[in-house]
Chain A
Amino acid sequence: MLELQNLTKTFNPGTVNEKTALDGLNLTVNDGDFITIVGSNGAGKSTLFNAVAGVFLVDSGRIMLDDQNITFTPEYKRSKYIGRLFQDPLKGTAPHMTIEENLALAFLRAGETKPFSRITRKDREKFRDELKRLDMGLEDRMNTAVGTLSGGQRQALTLLMATIVPPRLLLLDEHTAALDPKAAEKIMALTNEIIERNHTTCLMVTHNLHQAISTGNRTLMMSDGDIILDLKDDQRKGLTIEDLMRKFREGAGEALDDDRILLSD
């Protein structure tokens, strides 16, 4: 369970560029929740993810993960149990290392291993099986440098790396936005499959409203550094994109304004 208590974060305090990115945000994420997050430009969606991941320390508030206070835990320690995917498919993999080496790195770092641990033959078989599930033919190219793969393939590999040892929390920051429609669809299907199989607790930022209400079990809307709408299971049933836009307008006092928003799929 992830608990965010009264999180605030202000960038460039005391200057003309002062920006309150998180404004006393509270959120409780239950185990197994798959939450989609939408919001206007600058609503604080990415800031929220960065705060949870530990890219910076919040100005005030507490972050609890499974009853453990991680407010001051450094980023690299948190990422042992918090998996992350970014919009840029190049950010999650090492281009000059092979597919197998990338997976080995992720696998060894997330598991209970020692600095000089290496992967075994059995681990390699496991990698091959997992790659086969992606259905991209990567299992036959395990000694290929990752830099030669397409964006979709690299993002699929990043997804596999983030989940090969199931994390306690998975943060997806528009992880299909930079891909072509077909690859995006594929990655989304894989994401759903992996999350379902592992019952992973997951937060996903998206600018695709259709995806926001059709994926997962809960939808959050953000505006001005706070959550203005929290729709759970039955509240989402039968909800249309128009309903969502109207609800946002009522909650935020202004229209949903995201210059990249997709109204239909």
Chain B
Amino acid sequence: MLSIIQTALLLGCIYSLVALALFLSYRILDIADLTTDGCFVLGMAVSVSTAAAGHPFLGIVLGMLAGGCAGFVTAFLQTRMGVPSILAGIVTNTGLYTINLMAMGWSSNVSLLKQETIFTIFRETGIGGSWYQIILAGIVAAVCMLAMRWFLTTRLGLSIRATGDNRDMVSASSINPRFTITVGLIIANCLTGLSGAIAGQMQKSADINAGTSIVVIGLACLIIGETVIQGRKSIGRNILACLVGNVIYRLIYAIVLQTRIIPIECLKLMTAVIVALAIAAPSLKQSLSDYNRERREA
């Protein structure tokens, strides 16, 4: 049981960065950024390849920056080339497949054998005993979340929030939506890239298919977190929801994996159903109440 919880916490911390990215792009900017899948693999591929060459820390930084570049491409297509936002993400994502193969030396996977990773280096410090991975991932997640909390109260952060909240007020408030959308998507994809970079070094390998449906899982985690954390909505709570939702999702995942209540092959379908239902919930509620009223009054 302890190992299940440890795994859930570890994966929850690492993947919460994807949820944090989606919080920024989907919740704040109101853009469904489908770059996420390919961007996650990009971060992973760059990170593991760089670590394989003997530079684990540089790998993390480069993985994150590579993610940011992918975000820039999507934002550029969307804000300058007039490509619809969902399509812009899909186009970038498709292109990234080739880029990702290239980053792994034209191979579909790369493994780290004896090379150092940020995790092995951290283990040597002796901090945390068997919890060392969780502590390291937790520190990174906490720093990112606090930084996000701070950023969203700065002038630029407030401008990004206003861009997603009310397009009508944007131009009359001297906000350039091209700029705010671009900055928002770059930051979001930096976080996704960072998540992939850390995940790659944690599992000591990168795989071309590692990012499949990451975006849907990220959304599921976001929604689970928002449902679990009750009370008045605030930026701080919503950011915390990214982490809480992820840990819960990973816990469910680990339990399913261990106990085989549901065949593990079905988990993706289950995730998809959860996300679809959660996003549909408001309109389902409305239809149901309309239907009930009609029956009552008829």
Chain A residues at the B interface, C-beta cutoff of 8 Å: 53, 55, 74-80, 84, 86, 88, 90-97, 101, 104-106, 108-110, 113-118, 161
Contact = CB atoms under 8 A, between A and B. Distances in A.
A162 B115 CA distance: 58
Question: Top 3 A-B pairs ranked by shortest CB distance?
Answer: A94-B165, A108-B155, A115-B156
A92 B172 contact: yes
Contact of B174 (A80, A86, A90, A114): A80
B176 interface: yes
B169 interface: yes
A77 B175 CA distance: 8
Contacts of A95: 165-166
Given A101-B158, A104-B158, A118-B155, A109 B168 contact: no
For the complex, would chain B's binding face be called helix, strand, loop or mixed by DSSP majority? Answer: helix
A118 B173 contact: no
Given A116-B156, A118-B154, A94 B162 contact: yes
Contacts of B168: 86, 88, 90-92
B259 interface: no
A210 B165 CA distance: 37
B100 interface: no
A109 B175 CA distance: 8
B31 to A, nearest CB: 15
A181 B253 CA distance: 58
Given A94-B165, A96-B165, A118-B153, A53 B172 contact: yes
Given A55-B171, A91-B169, A105-B155, 19 more contacts: A53-B172, A74-B176, A76-B176, A79-B171, A79-B172, A88-B168, A91-B166, A92-B172, A93-B169, A94-B162, A97-B162, A101-B161, A104-B158, A108-B155, A109-B173, A116-B151, A116-B155, A117-B155, A161-B173
Nearest to A93: B169
A105 to B, nearest CB: 4
A30 to B, nearest CB: 24
B36 interface: no
Nearest to A117: B155
B179 to A, nearest CB: 9
A76 B166 contact: no
Contacts of B153: 101, 104, 118
Contacts of B165: 94-97
A110 B175 CA distance: 10
B154 A105 contact: no
B166, B168, B175: residue with the most chain A Cβ atoms closer than 10 Å: B166
A92 B175 CA distance: 12
Interface string B170-187: 111111110000000000
A116 B154 contact: yes
A91 B172 CA distance: 9
B148 to A, nearest CB: 13
B159 interface: yes
19 contacts: A74-B176, A76-B171, A77-B174, A78-B174, A80-B174, A86-B172, A90-B168, A91-B168, A92-B168, A95-B165, A97-B158, A105-B155, A106-B173, A108-B158, A109-B155, A115-B156, A116-B151, A118-B153, A118-B155
A76 B155 contact: no
A205 to B, nearest CB: 15
Nearest to A55: B171
